[in-house]
Amino acid sequence: MPGEGEDVPLDFTAIDFETANSSPASACSVGLVRVRGGEVVATTGWLIRPPAGHDDFQEWNVRIHGIRPEDVVGASSWVDQFDRLCAFAGADVLVAHNAGFDLNVLRRASEVTGLECPPYRSLCSLQVARKTYQLESYRLPKAAAAAGFGDFSHHDALADARACAQIVIDAARRSLAADVDSLAAALGVRVTDAPVPAHVPALERAVA
């Protein structure tokens, strides 16, 4: 195992979605952060035009993330951006704060647009934070600050993904975990497996 202060051979992709409304299929923004060897090596993010029937922007959501219908008029649709998202994530474990939400967005937006979602494994940085820090609140800004990543634009998808990545990087260094699975085992949390689909053209795209 790595010693104190050494780089952690930790590979994953952190992901964060913002949604237009309460439908998990209403993705309107995504942020992605690639981590290799415990270091951020690539970041990207973009606006998404939510799928038809899930594209109503509710006032509550707009207040949270500031994205309005006019902002996504020229954005790629879920279908148009899907291969780009999968290519960035590759075969990585996806890490997100309250990962159930973000993985559900990924699966539901794919489902309503007729796409096969790769069977990504996932790790929840909220669960990691609860096992790593003693805090009054484990909301992303508080947990990220404990990990040494503060003063970011919360509910900006890319900023949130970067904060989420830092929580897992810091937790792995603290627990001397060599990879995502070792971190989960050390903290007593799960790396969640997704059901394997009957055919996997989307997975083949993701790892190409």
pLDDT mean for each 10 residues of the chain (208 residues): 56 98 98 97 98 97 97 98 98 97 97 96 98 97 94 93 97 96 97 67 40
pLDDT computed for residue 114 by the predictor: 98
One-letter amino acid identity for 107?
A: R
Instruction: Tell me the whole-structure pTM to 2 decimals.
Output: 0.89
User: Largest Cα–Cα distance of the chain, in whole Å?
Assistant: 52
Q: What angle do CA 134, 15, 57 make, to 5 degrees?
A: 105
CATH architecture of 12-207: 2-Layer Sandwich (3.30)
For 52, residues 6+ apart whose C-beta sits below 8 A from its C-beta are none
Adjacent-strand bridge partners of 32: 15, 44
Sign of the CA dihedral running 185, 4, 38, 11: negative
CA–CA gap between residue 42 and residue 33 (Å, rounded): 6
Q: What angle separates helix 157-175 from helix 125-132, to the nearest 10 degrees?
A: 40
Contact 99, 120 (CB under 8 A): no
Strand boundaries in the chain, DSSP class E: 12-19, 27-36, 39-49, 76-77, 94-96, 122-124
For 181, residues 6+ apart whose C-beta sits below 8 A from its C-beta are 191
Cβ neighbour number for residue 150 with a 10 Å cutoff = 12
Adjacent-strand bridge partners of 77: 49
pLDDT computed for residue 9 by the predictor: 79
Could you state, in order of their start, the residue ranges of all structural domains in the chain?
A: 12-207
pLDDT computed for residue 159 by the predictor: 96
CA–CA gap between residue 70 and residue 77 (Å, rounded): 14
